[in-house]
Structure 1
Amino acid sequence: MSHTLKVNDVTEVTHNVRRIRLEKPDDYNFTPGQATEVAIDKEGWRDEKRPFTFTSLNSDPWLEFVIKVYPDHDGVTEQIGQLQKGDSLIIEDPWGAIEYKGEGTFIAGGAGVTPFIAIFRDLARKGEIGNNRLIFSNSGEKDIILKEEFEQILGDQFINVITHEKPNGDHLFIDGHIDKAFLNEHINHFNQHFYVCGPDAFNNGIMDALKELGADPDGLVFEE
């Protein structure tokens, strides 16, 4: 079922990431980590649907997406980057395979962190962050989505990995790439849940490395 919804607010999160808040239909329900198909309610764009993850919680009075904009692609995200209050988006029913199944390590690459935003917000609201950790890989510090919020929620359990510049931050910033050697060094045990989301090559590399290090394939949570 499709819903055409007004944009209530557009906020800049980073230099190329926007937070879009929409009106929320009655009886529209989803769980943290789920996504939906989104299209722009403009001539020529209504059939151009793309998947985006809800970053709001089901209890919020709005729907929220945090979306990375690619201006050079001349595509949907470039158009989303031009959205203003009063414009409309078309969304479908929620779907998704990423859901919280228990404490573990979350590993994200760039905009792949978006399914984890609602999960961590939900856990924080319930007081159930526990021993969950987020390892977040980005090209540079300016690319870190919701850095301050993750720091507040996770503290020392929020680890940033910077791949294309020397990080200037504190001990939570690591210079390098997330590979098998990195995982072996920074993860104490592999008998836990692992939540992985990023570009396909990132996901495949991380999943293969985790399995080689002894992670239970049934404990790996990712979008297929």
Structure 2
Amino acid sequence: MADYKVKVLDVKPVTHNVHAFTIEKPAGFTYIPGQATDLSILKENWASEKRPFTFTSLQESDFLQFTIKSYADRNGVTNQLLSVEPGDYFEISDAWGAIEYKGEGVFLAGGAGVTPFIAIFRSLYSQNKIGNNKLFFSNKTPSDIILKEEFEMMLGDNFHKVISGEEVPGCYYGRINKAFLQEHINDFTQHFYVCGPDPFIASILEALQELGAHAETLVFEK
């Protein structure tokens, strides 16, 4: 797998702890919406610290973009990203990953796990192919919702916000679990796209299969 040195072109806040990093796109670089790369920050002591991040830009754009949540309480790569500025450099690998669009269905995301779906929805929207795809997006508070306005614009009434930390008008209260899925979904033969923390993925996949979803219709990072 090849590695590419790329310059950071822009850094913009998305939420209180999420930033969009726009970087150079290597000549001939390709990826499928939903795929990721191994990324490291080319600074002292950090160049060998590679972490997986998902592309959130459109494939046809002349730049690459990542939408990344930082954890200031951890001395890791995402915390170090808070000090990255335009002109700094990343190293990225060729694209990889199992998440890609297979057909219309239900997208289930927990927190920063929504990032693979950003490029998928942006790509579908740019082609006027959003169709009846639905997104159920779980967060602790409304301030944690990544790209809220853009999802509302792209998906309309098919964007469903789930808040676990407080009751909020216009949002479902609680967690996405088997009971929630049973209440809000009536067709378990369609495609399901699942991404989030490992416990979220495991519990959702188990619930979906108990409710009749077939293994071949479940799209997640294996």
Q: Do they fold alike, i.e. is TM over 0.5?
A: yes
Which of these residues, 181, 184, 187, is aligned with residue 185 of structure 2? 187
Query: Does the CA contact (< 8 Å) of 1:8 and 1:21 recur in 2?
Result: yes
- 1:38 aligned partner, one-letter code: L
Aligned-pair distance for 1:211? 0.3
Q: Which residue of 2 aligns with 1:62?
A: 63
How far, CA to CA, are the matches of 2:192 and 2:24 in structure 1? Answer: 33
| 1:85 alignment partner in structure 2 | 86
Structure 1 residue aligned with 2:115: 114
Q: Give me the whole-angstrom Cα distance separating, in 2, the residues matched to 1:167 and 1:79.
A: 33
Name the structure 2 match of 1:151: 152
Matching of residues 1-224 of structure 1 within 5 Å: 1-168=2-169, 170=170, 173-224=171-222
Paired amino acid for 1:182: F
TM-score in terms of structure 1 length: 0.98
The SS at the match of 2:176 is coil
Contact kept? 1:31, 1:57, Cα under 8 Å: no
Distance in 1 (alpha carbons) for counterparts of 2:113 and 2:95: 18
Report deviation, 1:81. Answer: 1.4
Separation of aligned partners in 2, 1:189 and 1:6: 45
Is the contact between residue 40 and residue 48 of structure 1 (CA under 8 Å) also seen in structure 2?
A: yes
Kindly state the Cα deviation for residue 54 of structure 1 after the two structures are TM-superposed: 0.1
- State how far apart, in whole Å, the 2-side matches of 1:148 and 1:188 are: 27
How much has 1:160 moved relative to structure 2? 0.5
Question: For 1:71-99, what per-residue CA distance to the aligned partner results, in whole angstroms no more than 9, with x for missing partners?
Answer: 11111000111111111111011000000
Residues 9-58 of structure 1 show CA distances to partners (whole Å, capped at 9, x for unaligned) of: 00000000010000111100111000000000001101000000000011
Map Cα deviations across residues 93-133 of structure 1 (whole Å, 9 max, x no partner). 10000000000000000000000000000000111111100
Amino acid at match of 1:47: S
- The gaps in structure 1 that reach 5 residues or longer are none
Structure 2 length as normaliser, TM-score? 0.99
- Where does structure 2 lack aligned partners over 5 or more consecutive residues? none
In the TM superposition, residue 134 of structure 1 has moved relative to its aligned partner by 0.2
